[in-house]
């Protein structure tokens, strides 16, 4: 049995879903639109977070760990350019891990701002949230410099987990009214990378949609449904 617990909007879970599709793996979709109780989440993971993944006897949480497990365990690489063979290349482990960690710091910063906003605190009202938002341009500058040229990703001749997670975090930020303007025009290499990724089947099959309070679901074309259901 292979299964993924995820919320519709989570960028961390979206990246894992994209990797599952890149690897052509079937899985049970345990999708949640709203946040369940602590007890319900704790039954799945002590982190109370998504994504959480099951594969036979393997039970994992933390999206980066799930991504690494999937890349190392499964071999299907049909996409063009192909999905990377591993999350960290031999001889480049520290650089690849640093890029991945930096991308996850970006994801944590924007989802923290987002989660506080929906629980009543705008980033401008809290010093820690302001600092989370202040991190973003610095992280983006550093990541832009790590890409060799327009048309490349973080690894040559393949689509890396790093590429996928960065694209998911950026599209999440753009699709939430959380007051963070990424200023993507300042980042031509990142912009070119995520535009290429958006064209992949795995990305199209796992879209990120607009969300704001009041959205309870989506039409098949992604139009938000506002209501109480």
Ligand X SMILES: N[C@@H](CCC(=O)N[C@@H](CS)C(=O)NCC(=O)O)C(=O)O
The minimum distance between CB 117 and ligand X, in angstroms, equals 13
Dist CA 68 CA 65 (whole Å): 5
By the criterion CB under 6 A, which residues form the site for ligand X? 7, 10, 12, 48-51, 62-64, 111
The minimum distance between CB 78 and ligand X, in angstroms, equals 26
H helix intervals, the chain: 11-22, 38-44, 63-73, 93-118, 127-146, 161-174, 188-198, 201-204
The minimum distance between CB 7 and ligand X, in angstroms, equals 6
Rg, Å, the chain Cα set: 17
Nearest to ligand X of 50, 193 (CB atom): 50
The minimum distance between CB 63 and ligand X, in angstroms, equals 4
Residue entry with tokens 């099959």: 205
Of all residues in the shown chain, the one whose CB is closest to ligand X is 49
The torsion angles phi and psi of 76, rounded to 5 degrees, stand at: -60, 125
Nearest to ligand X of 12, 88 (CB atom): 12
Nearest to ligand X of 12, 187 (CB atom): 12
């Amino acid at each position: 049995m292979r299964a993924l617990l995820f919320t519709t909007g989570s960028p961390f879970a979206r990246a894992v879903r994209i990797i599952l599709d890149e690897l052509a793996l079937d899985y049970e979709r345990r999708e949640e639109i709203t946040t369940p109780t602590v007890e319900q989440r704790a039954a799945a993971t002590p982190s109370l977070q998504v994504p959480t993944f099951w594969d036979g006897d393997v039970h994992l949480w933390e999206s980066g760990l799930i991504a690494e497990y999937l890349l190392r365990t499964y071999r299907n690489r049909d996409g063009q350019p192909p999905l990377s063979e591993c999350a960290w290349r031999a001889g480049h482990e520290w650089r690849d891990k640093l890029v991945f960690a930096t991308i996850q710091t970006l994801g944590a910063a924007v989802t923290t701002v987002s989660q506080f906003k929906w629980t009543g605190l705008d980033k401008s009202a809290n010093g820690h949230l302001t600092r989370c938002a202040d991190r973003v341009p610095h992280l983006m500058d550093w990541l832009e410099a790590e890409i060799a040229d327009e048309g490349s990703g973080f690894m040559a001749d393949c689509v890396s987990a790093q590429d996928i997670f960065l694209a998911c975090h950026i599209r999440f930020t753009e699709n939430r009214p959380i007051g963070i303007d990424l200023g993507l025009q300042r980042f031509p290499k990142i912009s070119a990378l995520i535009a290429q990724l958006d064209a992949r089947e795995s990305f199209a099959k796992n879209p990120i949609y607009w969300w704001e309070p009041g959205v309870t679901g989506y039409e098949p074309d992604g139009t938000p449904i506002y209501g109480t259901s």
